[in-house]
Amino acid sequence: MRGPHNIWRLVQTLATMERTGANRFVLEQLGAPASVRAAARVMGWPFKVLGEKGDPALPPATRAITALGPAYIKFGQILSTRPDVVGDELAVQLRVLQDKLPPFPTEIAKETIAQELGQPADELFSEFSEPIAAASIAQVHRARIARTGELVAVKVLRPGVERNFRKDIDAFYFAASTIELLAPFSRRLRPTDVIAHFDGVVTGELDLRIETAQAAEFAANTENDKGFTVPRVIWPLSSKRVMTMSWCEGVPIGDNAALDAAGHDRRVIGERVLSMFLRHALRDGYFHADMHQGNMKVGANGDIQCFDFGIMGRIDEYTRRVYAEILYGFIRRDYRRVAEVHFEAGYVPADREIDEFAQALRSVGEPIFGMDATHISMAKLLAYLFEVTERFGMATRTELILLQRTMVVVEGVARSLNPSINIWEVARPIVEEYIKENIGPKAVVRDLSRTVRVLSRFGPRLPELAEAALIRQSQSEPVRPLRPWLQPLLWMGAGAALTWIGAGLALLLS
């Protein structure tokens, strides 16, 4: 049945795209040739009646995706993080997708809890509300733990959601392979790889144990961040299809009138949202990648409370250092250094001209620094930067694309709270602090210390590794094996040397 189902779903998708007017817009954004766009209209028109009508008040792409259902909504949300694939204008349309769907009955949620946790929901919770939020994959209930009296938020997967998503993901793979076969221009966008990325993200979201672990890691990283709160995970009441976290009471961060009425300083909150995001990205290399207004509240004490950990971003330490140096170079307007960092990191091919690249970077930075503070945008800077680096042969780096997309959202939240916020003034001390701690003599000593610790684990194997290397290098005559009495001496000498080096580095660091 997979083949017929996939064909029918593809026909229904194309018909909905045609009926809502999304076909033309999407194909233009993807850079389809005029002949392909014309063929799509000719082929789609006869099936138009089979498509969903959607909400005429929505933009074409958003209208079509919303009409096609939960899997398409989630796919659109994830595509909004990839402007490198769908284009900037389409990414903006997809960014406003909302997956507020009709809730499923509370009794079914309680049945799921009983099956997952091994006890009736009414025994585990003394209070259990009707759904307070319902999305494409799960819905949330407010509850009180019977044993402790603690208020919690209980997230429960929709019934049958795994099977329904699996069917649509199969159809997405079929569509991607068909598009790659019939439209060669699309291969540069690697449609099958995009679907595989979506498959991986959704598979993680369909197992709430993964989201629970992500929330726990994020909470551990941020527990000492003043003014920022992550709900506590309740592990005994969490499983594959149920996630329970401590309840956070607060004012929605998108409700300015309510924030003012509660006496909160929106200027301070706006700066904190931006600074916390940058600190998490640079310091931890692990950041909340969906920090829109719906996922944040402000507590009575002014703390920012963050929710929904389905989409998280991760950047390795080396990339964080490169990213920080790039930002720092732009803050200081040292475009030559920014260019050097790109070449040192291998982002730009070595055969390109560094002075020409530095000049292109100046064309990115100077117009932005010449703007009024209310128009300065780090997200815009990164977007322009990616355009320039692409011209100079830099390959797409997905983790930086996700970072830039999240930066757009975070800046939007910050400006909605304080329209006159100066992004660079907020970012400068955080970037400078990171540079001071992670780039310089202290960081070099720390890196060497880590290297020594790794090498020390190979101490017992050094003699045999040295012997094997000598044998491989020998071309004409075999190398005599090390005498048995020499091996322990070599091992002891190497171990002692590594120990002394490690001790010296530890003293320098202390």
- Euclidean distance between CA atoms 452 and 498, whole angstroms: 6
- Euclidean distance between CA atoms 152 and 446, whole angstroms: 42
Cβ distance 231 to 215 under 8 Å? yes
Evaluated on CA atoms 466, 471, 472, 476, the torsion sign reads positive
Residue 314: exposure state from Cβ atoms within 10 A (0-12, 13-18, ≥19):
middle
Secondary element (H or E) of residue 35: helix 34-44
- Euclidean distance between CA atoms 328 and 351, whole angstroms: 25
14-44: b (≥16 Cβ within 10 Å) or e: bbbbbbbbbbbbbbebbebeeebbeebeeeb
Q: Which residue has the tokens 């996700």?
A: 402
Cβ distance 20 to 60 under 8 Å? yes
CA separation (Å) from 328 to 119, 315, 317, 429?
Answer: 54, 18, 16, 10
Q: Which residues contact 218 (CB under 8 A, 6 or more apart)?
A: 230, 280, 286, 288, 306, 309, 312
Q: Which residues contact 269 (CB under 8 A, 6 or more apart)?
A: 253, 259, 298, 302, 304, 417, 418
- Euclidean distance between CA atoms 259 and 428, whole angstroms: 27
Q: Are strands 133-134 and 138-145 parallel, antiparallel or unpaired?
A: antiparallel
Other beta carbons less than 10 A from residue 92's beta carbon: 15
- Euclidean distance between CA atoms 221 and 361, whole angstroms: 34
Q: Are strands 286-288 and 312-314 parallel, antiparallel or unpaired?
A: antiparallel
239-254: b (≥16 Cβ within 10 Å) or e: bebbbbbbebebbebe
Closest Cα partner for 332 from 405, 427, 467? Answer: 427
Cβ distance 273 to 410 under 8 Å? yes
191-228: b (≥16 Cβ within 10 Å) or e: bbebbebbbebbebbbbbebbbbbbbbbbebbeebebb
- Euclidean distance between CA atoms 36 and 318, whole angstroms: 42
Q: Which residues contact 9 (CB under 8 A, 6 or more apart)?
A: 167, 168, 171
Is 290 one of the annotated active-site residues of the chain?
A: yes
Catalytic residue among 84, 168, 225, 290: 290
| Residue positions annotated with a catalytic role | 290
